[in-house]
A and B are shown apart, each in its own frame.
Chain A
Amino acid sequence: MTLATELKDTSPEKLLAPVLSAFWDEDKSWTLDVYRRHEGYEGLRKALAMSPDDVIAYVKESGLRGRGGAGFPTGMKWQFIPQGDGKPHYLVVNADESEPGTCKDIPLLFANPHSLIEGIVIACYAIRSSHAFIYLRGEVVPVLRRLHEAVREAYAAGYLGENVLGSGLDLELTVHAGAGAYICGEETALLDSLEGRRGQPRLRPPFPAVAGLYACPTVVNNVESIASVPAIMKNGKEWFRSMGSEKSPGFTLYSLSGHVASPGQYEAPLGVTLRQLLDMSGGMRPGHRLKFWTPGGSSTPMFTDEHLDVPLDYEGVGAAGSMLGTKALQCFDETTCVVRAVTRWTEFYAHESCGKCTPCREGTYWLVQLLRDIEAGKGVMSDLDKLNDIADNINGKSFCALGDGAASPIFSSLKYFREEYEEHITGRGCPFDPAKSTAWADKRTEVNA
């Protein structure tokens, strides 16, 4: 798919493309000083020299797609905002990063919050908004501190507030800390939460672009999507399109975690493969092999070692039967019990189900009961079909995507690892030793040997 794949080159210098992460290793990388030293807020100057409509068109032509999971074209979202309607427009940045496995926005905001703030100013100029919000999940106080400070710096430097850089744009930016609810990552639940209500999703249509925050036209974008905009404005859409593929252009953050030798953030052009990322970073932990992995968090159907060469872009992952999601590459080796993994994820969905719709509220509850029994060796064979059936009654029949996400690990694990479920039933228990999966398992063996 990508040039890099054709070259079969595993050199990290060629395969990786740090943009947002380019100077995270510098001292005080989160400060305005350091950001400016790396041409920070230059993208904004370019944008302010254009008309707002031209900025929207430019972002659209760059091909930037939403980095929060769905991959919707960012510029198109901006274009949906009705102009000249006399209503206030709002930009709400979704920083409620809570999808299991997902860990890209939090390090990004910790090390480089100004990339988001610059992107926010550009976006607000484009959609004619004078008030933006960052909805940050509450459980990440270190990030909240740096956002508070970065916003303060941006106001002091004239990037926020009245008449931004003499452009005539007035812009308020409010950092809003959530209070612990995965569902608030769903954009309409996020809006309800930001309005001071229980975070429950809204019926769509009307979409947020028409009736969002306070029933006004609202753009809800993921952190990484907005933070990518300044680089596009600064370096040009052609530069952006030179990375990745035709339909999935650009760079993005891949988060490698689990039983790998080097977990962490890898910023690369879209379309890199897990094999390439593992090859360059030391592979799985020594002496172990990949068993299953998620391409984009627990809500994306899992893959196995058969999928190591799937190009990690929207089309590639979709064609292989999953979703790119948040590019949260959680890798589990052969010591991991897939039933245990899926049970825990399902417990998460049941805990986080907001209770608004019946399929999700009841379905996730019963999935947990069945899975706990199976894992404990108390299941029967017919439970497996029942699992599938319940998941099928949640998937596509729930009010929002949380239900679909809950069904994904069930379907995909039954597809690839049905024998392992059966083993739990026939063997009356779990055949795995959880101690062997821990980060310290092999180290201890050596020590104690």
Chain B
Amino acid sequence: MTTTPEGVSLGMPQLPAPDYPDDVRARLERDAAEVVARYPDSRSALLPLLHLVQAEEGHVTRTGMQFCADVLGLTTAEVTAVATFYTMYRRKPSGDYQVGVCTNTLCAVMGGDAIFESLQEHLGVGNGETTDDGKVTLEHIECNAACDFAPVVMVNWEFFDNQTVASARQLVDDLRAGAQVEPTRGAPLCTFKETARILAGFPDERDGAVEASGSAGPASLIGLRLAKGEATARVVHPRDGGPHDEPQDSVHEPSPTEHLSSHDAPQDTSASDPAHPAGPVAEEGE
């Protein structure tokens, strides 16, 4: 984050961020008023407002932070302190689709490390980097509360469960080709900006978005099926022939050149991403 386009600072204070164009600002002010009205204290609206400005520009800019500060009567320092604390706020321009591979222990062990490794190679980008076409930003993420569907990949925070190296490669190829991609749990993908608007608290108005992908994923129903004496649950396990298995393998049968044997596996597991060390240095990026 220290490398700005302006290069090395020579001691001149940074100029105030440029304002939004008037029409944009007026529209955002209307949205912001709606957000602020949900809370007894206006400052509580800061997190949703940061999602809102991210929905405008795809990442949280100085202009966006200035806007939040103006609306809430805070200093830009106060807003910056919050914006830099939370990992969902991006601090640089990124792709339309944020592809997050879970590499927390369980998903990593079940194949998340291999998937992340493979996607980096396939896309030619590292952690937090975006493909040249501006479509896909790749990153590894922490546990996303879907361990019974491991390994999990999230795209714009929709669930792609029970992934394989082949299915994940197919997924990013489809995203880059502009194909309509549907998650295993969640609604047909919208762009990162549109997702950020939902996070700001504005419901997804698309037809069928709420009901897409059904009531619950197969793993969520395993116990219920057993309790109801539905014997099939004991025979058909999701990993041995469940609904997610078939399309993945039939759509893209891995060729011998990309088959998954040990040479495909990550070699340096714990330091799987030296570019993203665990210390506070990485958190703040400066």
Binding site for B on A (CB under 8 A): 12-13, 16-18, 21-22, 24-30, 88, 97-103, 105-107, 110-111, 131, 137-142, 144-146, 148-149, 152, 174-182, 193-199, 214, 254-259, 261-268, 280-282, 285, 298, 328, 330, 332, 336-337, 340-341, 343-348, 350-355, 361, 364-365, 368, 371-372, 375-376, 430, 433-440, 444, 448
Contacts and interface: CB of A to CB of B under 8 A. Distances in A.
Contacts of A353: 280
The interface centre, meaning the residue of B145, B195, B200, B265 with most chain A CB atoms within 10 A of its CB, is B145
B274 to A, nearest CB: 9
Interface of B: 38-41, 43-48, 50-51, 72, 81-82, 85-89, 100, 103-106, 108-111, 113-114, 141-151, 154, 156-159, 162, 164, 183, 185-187, 195, 198-201, 203-204, 209-211, 213-229, 233-234, 237-240, 259-262, 264-266, 268-271, 277-280, 282-283
The interface centre, meaning the residue of B104, B220, B259 with most chain A CB atoms within 10 A of its CB, is B220
B40 A178 contact: no
Contacts of B85: 181, 198-199, 354
A227 B143 CA distance: 23
Contacts of A365: 278-280
Contacts of B268: 376
Nearest to B49: A196
Nearest to A175: B201
A110 B87 CA distance: 23
Given A142-B185, A148-B203, A102 B109 contact: no
B150 to A, nearest CB: 6
Contacts of A26: 215
B106 A101 contact: yes
Mostly helix, strand, loop or mixed at chain A's interface?
mixed
A439 B110 contact: yes
Contact of B260 (A101, A330, A435): A435
B201 A177 contact: yes
A285 B239 contact: yes
Given A25-B221, A140-B145, A174 B38 contact: yes
Contacts of B164: 439-440
Nearest to B148: A263
A22 B259 CA distance: 41
B247 to A, nearest CB: 15
Given A107-B217, A196-B41, A265-B219, 19 more contacts: A25-B221, A29-B215, A100-B106, A100-B147, A111-B220, A140-B144, A141-B158, A148-B210, A175-B201, A179-B47, A196-B46, A258-B106, A298-B105, A368-B278, A371-B270, A434-B109, A434-B114, A435-B261, A439-B151
